[in-house]
């Protein structure tokens, strides 16, 4: 028998049919049963065999069975035998005969007719889809198979053979002896055969595109041809679409989804239900597929016997419709196949299945987010929905904890669809409004928060909602409206002095961006503290300590004694974040970074992460201040989304504390151009009044000074000071603007003006009296004073700062000392101080300070040029060692362990190295190092 054209990988079946045809010619017929799953090409193979037989002059009788045959006995056989003209000597069966059961006499008449056909010439009888045949026809065919061994007749029958969830009926050859039947099972197309089919139909195509087609075809010739038909129709001009679509909506005219629908229909409702349930589930709902979890879930969703589902998953994987992902979960071979399986599933049934999935997953202890993912696809559960509400709220909390704010918003919006008590609804509205506002400063969150304050319920709930609403309004620059929203609840909270104190404390914090409102809030705190201290509570008294600290009224020791005493007192749970956040800020100013960090951690732990709260950003700002005070520049720049400029033409007006820290960190690590881009991305002319604006002005002054624009820097420092003073913030604990301005005036040749600023800074620093502030102010006074007295002050500043281990302040003090020694002619001691400054700056990653120290060295001055700032020669010894290790493939952690350095120090050195070598990434290091000049400078 010759090749069967478009049929691929069917040679074994063709050879079997050819051999049995020869046997039938010799007068010894047999039944050939071609079995296979839906879409594997049984019908195409049968038609090809029948066509070839006809071409060779063999008489062919054909019949294709259908589900409708089951209602009429012998309908398939009658259709088979009516294809040819009846022979004259055949017995005439009664066409109106309807047998209530298998009628042996009637069957004998039909058998006689078949024998009459075979008497004239060899005969091929082809019956397609025999699994659809009526019972009488199936029995007749089985009996015929037992009798044709002496006839020149070949009976070829195709039968669907596929593992379905509903157990199938017995096959046609179940009762036949193996000697009477030859069975061949058609396998799915291999990947190679499917790829050849695609190329034969489409022509030249990219390998990835062909592979997509093969996976979407899932080894089924039917699905693959339907897909190719749709793809050709999609591009009528003959060009291929760039990618194989992942959804059926992108296909036209829809032959592929129709073929998948036929496959599901042929498998029966139970299999279709399981198939669609699998398509509807996300990865989170599936286990590795080896246990009973996935099978049980699919069975419950489809309402079928769970014992049959594991076998179906295995069978579909072998057929190629499913594949195991990298975690072992069963998934459809291609997204398009999955989408086609879902198409046509009524939404009501799909939603019901997702609810069932949620219930099953909850009962087996799945993660809250996985269960909530199913509930997002269901309508409200309704009465008895407490379990659903609890799951959605838990999932929202987890999502926020892991930074997935968008997911949390979806869970909370879905929660509002359930029946909720007013108190629970207020809680959900508060959390949802907080997240919606925090995600993108969306105004949608404010009406939700306002509604939450109006709902009846627990006073604590209304207070939380009011604090969140006030925080949102203050972040929008509406400090007055924020305070009014908080004070508007005073009448509703009569009898709850703790809640009234909470709102007053929140008012004081939220008023920071409006000077008039701020003065009112602190005046009330002061007046109340004098008359009735118990009315402001521990948090209110802590706020007064903070105010007196920044106003220059008390020392650090006094402030910390008061703060520690307040921390030892009982505190209302709702007021605890205010107390901890305020205490952390004071501890950081008092040079107690470890205690400040502990307080920050405690403060963040006691807050609900879903709520807007004025202390949450305050605590994070304290943490950033701690990092800046320790010179942890890599930590401040760790998240580029906080500071990188992605749209340089889009000017912003309201900088945050993170932007100010990022500008200074970029300057100190030698990335001045990036710092300039960040600073230039803000137009401060329309900026709202705030302490963060003042800090940004100081940071921009640092940038301008480092860039050589001393006049511009002085303007920024003085404006920062003017704004701070107007807010009663005169102590240098927040921003040392006087020392910075004094340095600028010295550089501009105005020493007397510089001296006045430096003396005032010194006076205020002695009030607070911490080594950092006193040493820094003394260093500034030394620079402004000059001469022998200036040298004495500089040396004293170094001693104070060395004992305090304040690296970020000790380095400039050493540089100032070195410059004073050089001016005094003591070049040896100057060299010692400046080299120590350079080494400390290098360890800290403070590139700017290291360069300043190197430029101030007496030998650098004698050469009349600074140390080389670019190229291999500009690298320090540490930078060279680290670069060599990085080029050798070592990770930052490994380098840090080898050289006994902090990982952030390694990162800072590498950043400086990239800048000096003119490269952008680690992969370029080997090539850049290969271009260095030979010589001693290469030593590591």
| Cα 853 to Cα 621, 849, 867, distances in angstroms | 31, 6, 10
Span between the terminal Cα atoms of the chain, in Å: 78
Which of 350-355's residues contact partners 24+ apart within 8 Å by CB, and which partners?
350/276, 350/280, 350/377, 351/377, 351/378, 351/379, 352/378, 353/273, 353/276, 353/277, 353/280, 353/301, 353/302, 354/280, 354/301, 354/378, 355/381
144-191 pLDDT per residue, tens: 999 998 899 999 999 999 999 998 888 999 899 989 999 999 999 999
Calpha distance 319→218 (Å, rounded): 7
5-18 pLDDT per residue, tens: 456 788 899 999 99
Question: What percentage of residues in the chain have a pLDDT greater than 90?
Answer: 60
Q: What is the largest CA-CA distance in the chain?
A: 139
Decide if 658 contacts 643 (C-beta within 8 A).
yes
Going by C-alpha positions, the residue among 529, 580, 581, 588 that lies closest to residue 556 is 588
Give the tokens for residue 356: 């069932």
Calpha distance 505→515 (Å, rounded): 16
Helix (DSSP H) and strand (DSSP E) numbers for the chain: 45, 7
Coil vs helix vs strand at 80 = helix
Q: Is this model's pTM higher than 0.75 or not?
A: no
pLDDT at 796: 96
pLDDT at 483: 87
pLDDT at 514: 76
Question: What percentage of residues in the chain have a pLDDT greater than 70?
Answer: 92
pLDDT at 134: 92
Q: Rounded to an integer, what is the distance from CA 477 to the centroid of its chain? A: 31
Mean pLDDT of 913-923: 78
Calpha distance 441→445 (Å, rounded): 8
Mean pLDDT of 203-230: 91
Give the tokens for residue 284: 């989170």
DSSP letters for 113-165: HHHHHHHHS-EEEEEE-GGGS-HHHHHHHHHHHHHGGGSSEEEEEEEE----S
Calpha distance 244→499 (Å, rounded): 61
Going by C-alpha positions, the residue among 68, 76, 72, 70 that lies closest to residue 155 is 76
Question: Taking all residues of the chain, what is their mean pLDDT, rounded to a whole number?
Answer: 87
Q: Is residue 868 pLDDT above 60, yes or no?
A: no
740-797 pLDDT per residue, tens: 999 999 999 998 999 999 999 999 999 999 999 999 999 999 999 999 999 999 999 9
Calpha distance 665→907 (Å, rounded): 13
Q: Is residue 236 pLDDT above 80, yes or no?
A: no
Going by C-alpha positions, the residue among 67, 73, 55 that lies closest to residue 5 is 55
Burial class (CB in 10 A: 0-12, 13-18, 19+), 101: exposed
Task: Select the more confidently predicted residue: 754 or 535.
Answer: 754
The CB density around residue 689, as the number of other CB atoms within 10 Å, is: 18
What torsion do the CA atoms of 888, 890, 891, 897 make, to the nearest 10 degrees?
-140
* Band (235; pLDDT cuts 50, 70, 90): low
The contacts of residue 332 (CB under 8 Å, 6+ apart) are 278, 279, 321, 322, 323, 338, 341
* Band (933; pLDDT cuts 50, 70, 90): very low
pLDDT at 805: 67
Calpha distance 270→274 (Å, rounded): 6
Decide if 407 contacts 390 (C-beta within 8 A).
no
113-122 pLDDT per residue, tens: 999 999 888 8
Lowest-pLDDT range, 358-367, 445-454, 799-808? 799-808
Strand partners, 322: 332
- H or E, element range at 413: helix 405-415
Lowest-pLDDT range, 307-311, 339-343, 546-550, 891-895? 891-895
Q: Rounded to an integer, what is the distance from CA 840 to the centroid of its chain? A: 40
pLDDT at 650: 60
Bridge-based pairing of strands 322-324 and 330-332 is: antiparallel
Lowest-pLDDT range, 647-661, 816-830, 835-849? 647-661
Give the tokens for residue 390: 């609890």
Going by C-alpha positions, the residue among 785, 731, 788 that lies closest to residue 758 is 785
């Amino acid at each position: 028998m010759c090749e069967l054209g478009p049929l691929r990988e069917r040679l074994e079946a063709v050879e079997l049919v050819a051999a049995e045809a020869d046997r039938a010619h010799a007068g010894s017929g047999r039944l050939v049963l071609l079995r296979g799953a839906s879409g594997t090409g049984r019908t195409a193979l049968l038609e090809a065999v029948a066509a070839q037989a006809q071409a060779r002059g063999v008489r062919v009788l054909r019949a294709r069975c259908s589900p409708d045959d089951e209602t009429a006995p012998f309908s398939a056989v009658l259709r088979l035998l009516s294809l040819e003209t009846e022979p004259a000597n055949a017995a005439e069966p009664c066409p109106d005969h309807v047998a209530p059961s298998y009628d042996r006499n009637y069957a004998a008449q039909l058998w006689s007719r078949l024998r009459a056909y075979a008497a004239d010439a060899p005969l091929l009888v082809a019956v397609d889809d025999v699994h659809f045949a009526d019972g009488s026809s199936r029995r007749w065919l089985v009996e015929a198979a037992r009798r044709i061994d002496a006839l020149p007749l070949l009976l070829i029958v195709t039968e669907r053979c596929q593992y379905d969830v509903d157990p199938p009926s017995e096959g046609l050859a179940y009762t036949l002896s193996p000697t009477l039947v030859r069975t061949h099972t058609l396998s799915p197309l291999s990947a190679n055969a499917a790829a050849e089919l695609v190329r034969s139909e489409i022509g030249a195509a990219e390998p990835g595109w062909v592979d997509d087609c093969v996976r979407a075809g899932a080894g089924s010739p039917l699905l693959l041809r339907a897909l190719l038909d749709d793809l050709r129709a999609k591009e009528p001009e003959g060009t291929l679409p760039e990618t194989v679509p992942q959804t059926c909506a992108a296909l036209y005219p829809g032959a592929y989804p129709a073929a998948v629908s036929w496959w599901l229909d042929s498998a029966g409702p139970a299999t279709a239900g399981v198939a669609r349930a699998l398509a509807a589930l996300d990865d989170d709902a599936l286990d590795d597929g080896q246990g009973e979890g996935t099978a049980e879930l699919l069975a419950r969703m489809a309402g079928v016997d769970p014992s049959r589902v594991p076998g179906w998953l295995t069978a579909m994987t072998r057929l190629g419709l499913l594949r195991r992902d990298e975690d072992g979960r069963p998934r459809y071979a291609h997204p398009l196949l999955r989408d086609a399986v879902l198409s046509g599933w009524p939404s009501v049934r799909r939603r019901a299945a997702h609810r069932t999935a949620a219930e099953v997953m909850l009962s087996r202890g799945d993660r809250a987010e996985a269960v909530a993912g199913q509930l997002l696809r269901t309508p409200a559960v309704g009465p008895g929905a407490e379990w659903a509400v609890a799951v959605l709220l838990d999932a929202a909390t987890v999502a926020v904890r892991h930074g997935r704010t968008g997911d949390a918003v979806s869970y909370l919006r879905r929660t509002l669809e359930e029946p909720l008590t007013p108190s629970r609804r207020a809680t959900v509205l508060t959390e949802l409004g907080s997240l919606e506002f925090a995600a993108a400063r969306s105004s949608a969150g404010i009406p939700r928060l306002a509604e939450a304050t109006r709902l009846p319920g627990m006073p604590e709930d209304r207070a939380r909602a009011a604090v969140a609403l006030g925080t949102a309004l203050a972040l929008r620059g509406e400090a007055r409206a924020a305070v009014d929203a908080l004070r508007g609840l005073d009448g509703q909270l009569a009898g709850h002095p703790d809640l009234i104190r909470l709102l007053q404390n929140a008012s004081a914090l939220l008023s920071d961006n409006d000077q008039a409102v701020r003065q009112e809030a602190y005046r009330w705190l002061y007046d109340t503290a004098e008359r009735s201290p118990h009315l402001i509570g521990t948090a209110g008294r802590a706020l007064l300590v903070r105010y007196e600290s920044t106003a220059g009224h008390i020392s650090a020791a006094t402030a910390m004694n008061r703060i520690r005493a307040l921390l030892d007192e009982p505190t209302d749970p709702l007021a605890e974040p205010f107390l901890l956040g305020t205490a952390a800020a004071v501890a950081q100013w008092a040079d107690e970074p470890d205690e400040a960090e502990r307080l920050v951690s405690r403060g963040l732990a006691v807050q609900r992460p879903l709520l807007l709260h004025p202390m949450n950003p305050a605590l994070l700002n304290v943490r950033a201040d701690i990092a800046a005070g320790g010179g942890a520049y890599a930590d401040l720049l760790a998240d580029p989304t906080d500071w990188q400029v992605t749209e340089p033409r889009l000017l912003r007006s309201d900088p945050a504390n993170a932007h100010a820290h990022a500008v200074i960190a970029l300057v100190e690590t030698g990335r001045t151009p990036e710092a300039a881009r960040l600073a230039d991305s803000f137009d401060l002319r329309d900026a709202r009044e705030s302490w963060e604006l003042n800090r940004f002005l100081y940071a921009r002054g640092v940038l301008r000074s480092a860039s050589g624009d001393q006049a511009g820097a002085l303007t920024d420092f003085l404006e920062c000071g003017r704004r701070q003073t107007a807010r009663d913030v005169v102590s240098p604990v927040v921003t040392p603007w006087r020392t910075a301005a004094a340095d600028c005036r010295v550089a501009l040749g105005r020493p007397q003006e510089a001296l006045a600023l430096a003396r005032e800074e010194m006076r205020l620093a002695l009030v607070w009296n911490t080594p950092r502030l006193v040493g820094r102010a003394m260093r500034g006074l030394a620079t402004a004073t000059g001469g022998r007295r200036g040298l004495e002050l500089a040396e004293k500043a170094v001693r104070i700062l060395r004992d305090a281990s304040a690296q970020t302040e000790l380095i400039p003090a050493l540089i100032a000392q070195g410059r004073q020694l050089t001016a005094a002619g003591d070049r040896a001691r100057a060299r010692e101080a400046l080299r120590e400054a350079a080494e400390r700056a290098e360890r800290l990653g403070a590139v700017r300070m290291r360069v300043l120290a190197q430029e101030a060295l007496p030998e650098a001055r004698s050469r009349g040029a600074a140390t080389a700032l670019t190229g291999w020669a500009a690298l320090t010894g540490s930078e060279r060692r680290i670069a060599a290790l990085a080029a050798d493939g070592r990770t930052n952690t490994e380098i840090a362990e080898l050289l006994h350095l902090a990982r952030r120090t390694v990162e800072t050195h590498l950043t400086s190295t990239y800048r000096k070598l003119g490269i952008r990434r680690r992969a370029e290091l080997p090539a850049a190092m290969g271009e260095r000049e030979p010589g001693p400078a290469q030593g590591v």
